[in-house]
Structure 1
Amino acid sequence: MSDMVKNLILWLVIAVVLMSVFQSFSPSESTSGQLDYTAFVQDVRRGDIREVTIDGQTITGSKRNGEAFETVMPFYDDDLLNDLIKQDVRAFGKKPEEPSFISQIFISWFPMLLLIGVWIFFMRQMQGGGGKGAMSFGKSKARLMSEDQIKTTFADVAGVDEAKEEVSELVDYLKDPSKFQRLGGKIPKGILMVGQPGTGKTLLARAIAGEAKVPFFTISGSDFVEMFVGVGASRVRDMFEQAKKAAPCIVFIDEIDAVGRQRGAGLGGGHDEREQTLNQMLVEMDGFEGNEGIIVIAATNRPDVLDPALLRPGRFDRQVVVGLPDVRGREQILKVHMRKVPIADDVEASVIARGTPGFSGADLSNLVNEAALFAARGNRRKVSMEEFEKAKDKIMMGAERKSMVMTEDEKAMTAYHEAGHAIVGRLVPEHDPVYKVSIIPRGRALGVTMYLPEQDRVSHSKQHLESMVSSLFGGRIAEAIIYGNDKVTTGASNDIERATDIARKMVTQWGLSEKMGPMLYAEEEGEVFLGRTAAKVKHMSDETARAIDEEIKLLIDRNYQRSEQILNDNLDILHAMKDALMKYETIDAKQIDDLMARRDVRPPADWSNNDSAGSDSSGNSDTKLDVNESQEPKADGAEDAEAK
């Protein structure tokens, strides 16, 4: 029975009891006719009364004409009984009812019971959600899931083949422990799943439970920590006690960084409750007494903040990296999610996978869901490739802002700006191909130029990085060439910021400057934690800092001039692409091929002359944020997260 149902029943019982008590103390109302005592005595003496019932000072009865009455004796009347006997009136008496022993106890103890009930209510609130009772502070909140409750298997997990291989031996061990014990092998006590949000860490743990067919305890790291010191440690002890009884079993702790952060690292002092909880967890996993047959699986996207004692062998022996899927993995994930929706014949998962670099499993699930929603809005019976393209554009570029209205001059400037990005991106070496150009406002951008890599990148060359810097300045240079330097808008502010960031990292972190050499002048940026600032810069002299700034400016100026030269040499293409954008509002790779070959632009497949009126869906804005290139590159060997 869920907690909501229990609370509802509790409050209903309290309401019924309160109503009963109030009703017992409230005076009862009679439906009989009220009669004053004087008139009643006169009726008795006249012989109009047939029978009466005397209950204390209350007298009820009926007259000879059948009329019922009720009256109250204001004082004890000794002559009344004689009058009733003289007039031959049938008189009845009622024995006073004594309250039962239980009623007496309830009435006398009701205030105390009410106070106890209020106290229990507030203690449950302080204990937090999911409590099992007012006195269950130290009890574990881990939920035990049986074999029938978990339907997920390895067949439902795709795109993380290496991680599946790492954890598959856990299933083999749980099914046949003797296979490993014959050679003296021991299964790891703890498996730490590390990966970006949405990559499928929790899904993989659920699949392990579904394959192993053993008891599975699941809990969140935040469920251990409470406002009272020692409660979390008590819950850890109780959780492992329950797991011992169900061994062999799996204990899954989601978001373990909530309780496993490094001890003594808090700003202004430690956190006693969290540190006690962590200490107890360390002892339970590998302390004086071992816990055989209990495998702990934990998930986090912040392994850098975990306590070193938690990561040593004997506790979390193995770290399984659940990374972003490659193009083959994305195709497999899409096929898993496409089983749940009716798919048209023209849908190709491989094409969608190639066009979604950097997407996690959760992103791909959202993509399929958005495509299904588009199909439902269009009253389609199946989800076609058109809906998948719309869903991809919405996720990568944002929803169309059709309510915005821009003037023709503003639309023309936006078209020149995006055309400048596209032309430079097409003509510089090692740049990702241009996928789509649009002047329809999406999200925070008034125009969008999208690039899609031909294959997933795991590293970036110097030539590729400089080409990215050149294409970023293409929009600003196009505005300056057409309208003059005095008419350049603030639309390139985001482009300048990103280009400067790439150039600075090339010089200070990636060693791609010949003058500065392969030296680290600034560490990788990170979040504020453990007392560190967001960007930790190495100590350097003023001369070195000046040389770094000069080298960054030289790199930016070189690529700025290259971009300017490319656009001046291809002014006819710039004007033609602007005209195509003004006419069609969105052009794809095939139309861009026509423009770059100086051919007539073919119309889009779904375009008609009625569309030329367009949806003037743009508006006045001081800043145009272009979503027109991949995300910033990572260091050599890091996994590429290009999404746009």
Structure 2
Amino acid sequence: MQDDKEPQGNPWMKSVMIWSGILLAMLLVASLFGGPAQPAGSAMAYSEFRQKVEEGAVKDVVLSEDRVTGTLSNGDRFTANVIRDPDLLKMLNDNNVKYDGMATETPNFWMYMLIQSLPFILILGIAFFVFRQVQKNNGSGAMGFGKSRAKMLTEKQGKVTFDDVAGIDEAREELEEIVEFLRDPTKFSRLGGQIPKGALLVGSPGTGKTLLARAIAGEAGVPFFTISGSDFVEMFVGVGASRVRDMFEQAKRNAPCIVFIDEIDAVGRHRGAGLGNGNDEREQTLNQLLVEMDGFEANEGIIIVAATNRPDVLDPALLRPGRFDRQVVVPRPDIEGRQKILEVHTRKKPLAPDVDLRRVARGTPGFSGADLANLCNEAALLAARKGKRLIANDEFEEAKDKVMMGAERRSMVMTEDEKKSTAYHEAGHALVSLHVDGCDPLHKVTIIPRGRALGVTWNLPERDRYSMSMKQMKARLALCFGGRIAEQLIYGKDELNTGASNDIQQATEMARSMVMEYGMSDKLGWLRYRDNQDEVFLGHSVSRAQNMSEDTARMIDAEVRRLVEEGENVARKVLTDHLDELHLLAGALLEYETLSGEESKRAIRGEDIGREDDADKRGTPVSGHAGSLPQIKRKPRGPFGDPKPQGA
């Protein structure tokens, strides 16, 4: 994804050339500094040499300034160091020894200079190699602190176009206009229109912000630089600002172009909101970014596209027109959008005839584009694991359960008492959702451990929901306490366990939000008592509450308790009035382990749930009650005897 502006050679050949050069340099140094070659022949003392000459045992010699070499009469070669001896030539003449002199070589000036400068040449070569690598790595090396880490996208990788983007039509149209402006600027400029300087993509994680940016890169036909907000921030003050300057210099050289900054909230947060002073590295980087986007020097032909899921923490100076002229909201898709996204992600997947993508889209409210892509991939993996050639509806249903509730933990060993307690807990949730007006329709209930839960009750809305009424929120409070109340009715207060901790947490948070944020308390009125902005302190997110008196805080706690107790009372009344149905539904869960919403309704009516094959009964009856487990077609008091309500 990076364009180095030069042809990339073969890495293997480049490595061979580098190591060959290093080896050649080592050999050259060894040959130059290894000293003169030692002459052949055995070493001989000078006194011994004179004695051999006087004995006539020397045939011939070659003389140099500091050494004499020669041949003995028997043909052996010898060498000896010369001592200043004025009688040497006379002695050689008297004993008829042939002698000759060795010419002294005058050293070449250029060779001498090469030998002296060789270490400096090697040092400069190594330095040149290091700095060249730093430049090629776009400043990611040890010496490239202030270089931009923006990468230029090319079409060598998988090209994404707007045809691959579905379910977010409004956001797509906003960005298609920017691409069209780059292709044909005269269409807009003849009416006085100017190209937007920046577009900010705002949306929840997984909704397709980065995918939209990749589609812009595939459609625009102009250079496209991409960088993350965290790439600007370093521990050294001034490095981030230097990288911003370098990035815009690259963009100016390639204008017209698009620069995409992902997760811009990492560098664009409110100035002065940190724990330190206002002169920290992040604020200097933000100041430089503000100047480059809209300062004294105009950046013609450079469009900034940024993405964030936290627009509330961005600095107001960054959001104003002239920097980010457009804020494009990328929402979670509705049912029509989910169907289109599923069609995109199943283009290259073989689907069985029973797969209805409309039904899959209806059963996945609140799913983002990334969630739907993961759903399709999980379904394909499940079909491949089973050895199928087509992806059937069963794989989509199983993949949906896995994505939303977690993978099944069938290897988890549960005692019979724990399994029975879990069955009553989930049956309590399901029964409350079936009898309390305002609850979402029951989709599925299971006592198979999934993820971190021992059992799951799953309710799905009939259509996409964008807000909740007070009636629906109170019904959900009652739903949260259905499991705990069911356990209390069957086992008593002393046998309550820790399995309802998540239910209590959800109910408490919902009741507190109803009182402090949504104005659903008559005593406190339509006032907001909590700020939704979070601050990070010592690694933890801390919610900032408005200053309030002790009386107000006490009143808030009282109202939260009142809402929670109302939910408890509604759940207790439903389960007490329908205790027979609670036993029937718990027995069916122990027998089948997983029931759909329709099967749960048949079970509480005492009807056959409609499974023809006994192999579908994956559960096992509780030990000691195998012979007394009733058929679902009858309406007995309970499958486990007739336990009396306790603690009601």
Question: How would you bin the TM-score normalised by the shorter chain?
Answer: 0.7 to 0.9
Answer yes or no: is 1:548 the counterpart of 2:560: no
- 1:625 matched residue in structure 2: none
The counterpart of 2:348, out of the listed 313, 336, 340, is 340
Distance 2:389 2:252 in 1: 51
Note the C-alpha offset of 1:447: 1.0
Please tell me whether residue 178 in structure 1 is matched to residue 186 in structure 2. Answer: yes
TM-superposed CA distance for 1:264, in Å, is: 2.7
Compute the displacement of 1:603 (Å): 2.9
Q: Does 1:603 align with 2:611?
A: yes
1:467-546 alignment runs, 5 A limit: 467-524=475-532, 526-528=534-536, 534-546=542-554
Per the TM alignment, residue 374 of structure 1 is displaced from its structure 2 partner at its CA by 1.5
Deviations along 1:348-370, one digit per CA (max 9) or x if unpaired, are 21222222222211111111112
Listed as ranges, the matches of 1:36-115 within 5 Å are 102=114, 104-107=116-119, 110=122
What is the distance in 1 between the residues matched to 2:402 and 2:67? 83
Range moving further from structure 2, 599-608 or 363-372: 599-608
CA offsets, 1:438-477, max 9 Å, x none?
1111111111111111111111111111111111111111
Shift, 1:72, TM fit = 9.0
Count the aligned residue pairs: 601
- State the Cα distance separating 1:573 from its structure 2 match: 1.6
Identify if the C-alpha distance between structure 1 residues 133 and 585 changes in structure 2 by more than 3 Å, giving closer, same or farther: closer
CA positional deviation for 1:331: 1.3
Q: Give the C-alpha shift of residue 155 in structure 1.
A: 0.9
- Find out whether 1:385 has 2:393 as its counterpart: yes
User: How high is the TM-score relative to the length of structure 2?
Assistant: 0.79
Contact kept in structure 2, 1:146 and 1:214, CA below 8 Å: no
2:245 to 230, 237, 250: 237
Match of 1:200 in 2: 208
Residue 268 of structure 1 pairs with residue 280 of structure 2: no
Q: How does 1:399-414 map to 2 (within 5 A)?
A: 399-414=407-422
Give the superposition deviation at 1:267.
0.9
Aligned counterparts of 2:525 and 2:306: Cα–Cα separation in 1: 42
Pairing partner for 2:432 from 424, 432, 446: 424
Q: Cα gap change, 1:541/1:275 in structure 2, threshold over 3 Å: closer, same or farther?
A: closer
Q: Judge conservation of contact 2:383–2:390 (CA < 8 Å) in 1.
A: yes
After superposing the two structures, state which structure 1 stretch, 595-604 or 497-506, moved more.
595-604
Matching residue's letter, 1:550: A
| Contact 2:203/2:209 (<8 A) preserved | yes
- For 1:394, the equivalent position in structure 2 comes to 402
- Equivalent residue, structure 1, for 2:643: none
Distance 1:147 1:606, change over 3 A: farther
Q: What is residue 50 of structure 1 aligned with on the other side?
A: none
Map 1:205-284; keep pairs closer than 5 Å. 205-284=213-292
1:559 equivalent to 2:550? Answer no
8 Å CA contact 1:428–1:467 kept in 2: the answer is: yes
Letter in 2 for 1:390: E
Would the aligned equivalents of 2:181 and 2:187 in 1 still touch at CA under 8 Å?
Answer: yes
Alpha-carbon distance in structure 1 between the residues aligned to 2:354 and 2:343: 14
| Structure 1: tracts of 5 or more residues without a match | 29-33, 48-53, 617-644
Q: Residue 620 of structure 1 aligns with which residue?
A: none
| Amino acid in the other structure paired with 2:117 | I
Q: Tell me the percent identity.
A: 54
- Cα distance in 1 between the residues matched to 2:622 and 2:234: 55
Q: 1:244/1:547 Cα in 2 relative to 1: closer, same or farther (>3 Å)?
A: closer
Query: Take 2:360 and 2:586, find their aligned partners in 1: how far apart are those partners?
Result: 28
Distance in 1 separating the partners of 2:78 and 2:408: 81
Q: Secondary structure at the match of 2:340?
A: helix
- The alpha-carbon deviation at position 201 of structure 1 amounts to 0.9
One-letter identity of the residue aligned with 1:188:
P
Residue in structure 2 matched with residue 631 of structure 1 by the alignment: none
User: Hey, what's the Cα distance between the residues in 2 that align with 1:19 and 1:37?
Assistant: 34
- Root-mean-square deviation (Å): 4.7
Distance between the aligned counterparts of 2:513 and 2:535, measured in 1? 17
Q: Secondary structure in 2 aligned to 1:261?
A: coil
- Residue 322 of structure 1 and its aligned partner are, at CA, apart by 0.8
The answer to whether 1:439 aligns with 2:451 is: no
TM-score (norm 1): 0.79
The alpha-carbon distance between structure 1 residues 348 and 135, as it changes in their structure 2 partners (threshold 3 A), is: same
2-structure distance, mates of 1:285, 1:140 = 16
Q: Quote how far apart the aligned CAs of 1:101 are.
A: 5.6
Q: Sort the Cα spacing of 1:446 and 1:72 in 2 relative to 1 into closer, same or farther, 3 A.
A: farther
3-state SS, counterpart of residue 587 of structure 1: strand
Please identify, of 462-471 and 398-407, the stretch whose mean Cα deviation from structure 2 is larger: 398-407
1:157–1:561 CA distance, 2 compared to 1 (3 A):
same
Matched residues in 1 for 2:440 and 2:464: separation?
11
Letter in 1 for 2:472: H
Question: In 1, are the aligned partners of 2:425 and 2:487 still within 8 Å (CA)?
Answer: yes
Measure, in 2, the Cα distance between the counterparts of 1:502 and 1:573.
Answer: 28
CA distance change for structure 1 residues 480 and 154 in 2, over 3 Å: closer, same or farther?
Answer: same
Q: 1:472 to 1:128 in 2, by over 3 A?
A: farther
| Cα distance in 1, alignment partners of residues 410 and 105 from structure 2 | 84
Offset of residue 602 of structure 1: 2.8
1:35 deviation in Å? Answer: 9.8
| Corresponding residue of 2:595 | 587
Aligned-pair CA distance for 1:431:
0.7
Query: 1:635 corresponds to which residue?
Result: none
Q: Name the CA distance, whole Å, in 2 between partners of 1:394 and 1:457.
A: 23
Contact 1:254 1:298 in 2 (8 A): yes
Contact 1:367 1:395 in 2 (8 A): yes
2:463 aligned to 455, 467, 487, which one? Answer: 455
Aligned to 2:642: none
CA 1:377–1:261: 2 relative to 1, 3 Å: same
Deviations 1:219-244 (A, max 9, x none): 22233334444443343333333333
Equivalent residue for 1:156? 164
Counterpart AA for 1:551: E
CA distance in 1, matches of 2:244, 2:10: 26
* 1:573 partner amino acid: E
State the Cα distance separating 1:268 from its structure 2 match. Answer: 1.8
Shift of 1:422: 0.5
Distance in 2 (alpha carbons) for counterparts of 1:317 and 1:273: 26
Judged with a 3 Å threshold, the aligned counterparts in structure 2 of structure 1 residues 489 and 16 are, in CA distance, closer, same or farther, namely: same
Is the contact made by 2:441 and 2:459 (CA closer than 8 Å) also made in structure 1?
yes
Distance in 2 separating the partners of 1:102 and 1:142: 43
1:331 to 318, 331, 339: 339
Pick which of 282-291 and 401-410 moved more.
Answer: 282-291
**CA apart distance, 1:204:** 0.8
8 Å Cα contact 2:420-2:622 kept in structure 1: no
AA aligned to 1:539 is N
Measured at CA, do residues 498 and 612 of structure 1 come closer, stay the same or move farther in structure 2, by a change above 3 Å? closer
CA deviation profile, 1:57-108 (whole Å, cap 9, x unmatched): 999x9xx9xxxx9x995757999xx9xxx999xxx99999997864653346
Cα distance between partner residues in 1 of 2:334 and 2:342: 12
Q: Is 2:368 aligned against 1:349?
A: no
In structure 2, C-alpha distance between the alignment counterparts of 1:87 and 1:596, rounded to whole Å: 130
Q: State the secondary structure of the residue aligned to 1:299.
A: strand
Q: SS in structure 2 opposite 1:547?
A: helix
2:294 to 255, 276, 286: 286
Residues 163-198 of structure 1 show CA distances to partners (whole Å, capped at 9, x for unaligned) of 112222212222222222222222221111111111
Structure 1 contact 421–474 (Cα < 8 Å) conserved: yes
Q: 1:73 to 1:175 in 2, by over 3 A?
A: same
Give yes or no for contact 1:147–1:215 (8 Å, CA) kept in 2: no
Q: 1:274 to 1:527 in 2, by over 3 A?
A: closer
